[in-house]
Amino acid sequence: MKRTTKTLRQAKGKSQIVCITAYDAVTARLADAADVDVILVGDSVGNVVLGFESTVPVTMDMMAHHTAAVARTRPNALIAADIPFGVAHGEFSDLLKFCMRLMQECGAEAVKIEGGAEMAPTIARLTAAGVPVWAHIGLQGQCVFQEGGYRKFGKTEQEYAEILAAAKAHEAAGAFALLVEMMVPELAAEITRSVSIPAIGIGAGKDCDGQIIVMHDILGLSPKKPSFAKVYADLSAQAVTAISAYRDDVREKR
Ligand code: KIV
């Protein structure tokens, strides 16, 4: 069954929405064969497969290239694409043009935008233009240089209140879902209870409407994975064993 923003909204409150990243046709086919609900073409493509240290160097062209590869597989999962660093803070017309490119030329069905309450007016303009927006709050990978690293959010009363307010502002702005990353589980749970749109967690406890994970982290394909990501398979080890067997066959002239 094809997943849409409507099927996600209908799944609110059931804690069953399954989301995962994919960056190309190979990983998109794997995700869809496993019947996930959402494939995110995350800007984590930068550090997970393109060899960058963070998501910051990821460009619009890179996102377009990877989103199109995922969409060519025509998955049942909803295809969401990340808006990369800086773009949502520039001219609105440039942002809208890029969303149009992602949706019209690359096959994205939604976009994901990092940002606190300050991003709500932009989200309202995009949703008014017909762009489905998934709002990303809590830890925002694109702020890694500003933050000086990665950490858990919502530990102080002020930060807790700001993130909760951002969740409500994004809902009011028309976001179809929230992504709540790396925050104290009580905050993720309160956000989930407080908004009528699905809240999808990562490193935010179990009391969300669903979870998202970076595929390469759970398949043992990431050199650095966050502590909350459970490894379900060690594909790196299996691949090295297979490639070594091939190497031996070649060298032994088999
Ligand atoms: O880009 C990404 O992979 C993300 C994760 C939080 C899922 O945004």
- CATH classification of the domain holding 177: 3.20.20.60
**Overall number of domains in the chain:** 1
Output the residue whose Cα is nearest ligand 1's atom 2.
Answer: 42
Note down the domain range covering 167: 5-251
CA distance 98 to 75: 22
Q: Is 217 in the pocket of ligand 1 (CB under 6 A)?
A: no
Which residue's structure tokens are 């994004």? 170
In the reported structure, the alpha carbon of residue 24 is separated from the centroid of ligand 1 by a whole-number distance in angstroms of 15
Q: Is 181 in the pocket of ligand 1 (CB under 6 A)?
A: yes
Does the predicted TM-score (pTM) go above 0.95?
yes
pLDDT of residue 191: 98
Q: What is the mean pLDDT of residues 8-17?
A: 95
Query: In the predicted model, is pLDDT for residue 105 greater than 90?
Result: yes
Collect all residues with Cβ–Cβ distance below 8 Å to 85 and sequence separation of at least 6. 43, 55, 56, 57, 58, 142
Output the residue whose Cα is nearest ligand 1's atom 1.
Answer: 42
Give the lowest-confidence range in 83-92, 211-220, 224-233, 237-246: 224-233
Structure tokens at 61: 């062209």
Q: Is 111 in the pocket of ligand 1 (CB under 6 A)?
A: no
Query: In the predicted model, is pLDDT for residue 118 greater than 90?
Result: yes
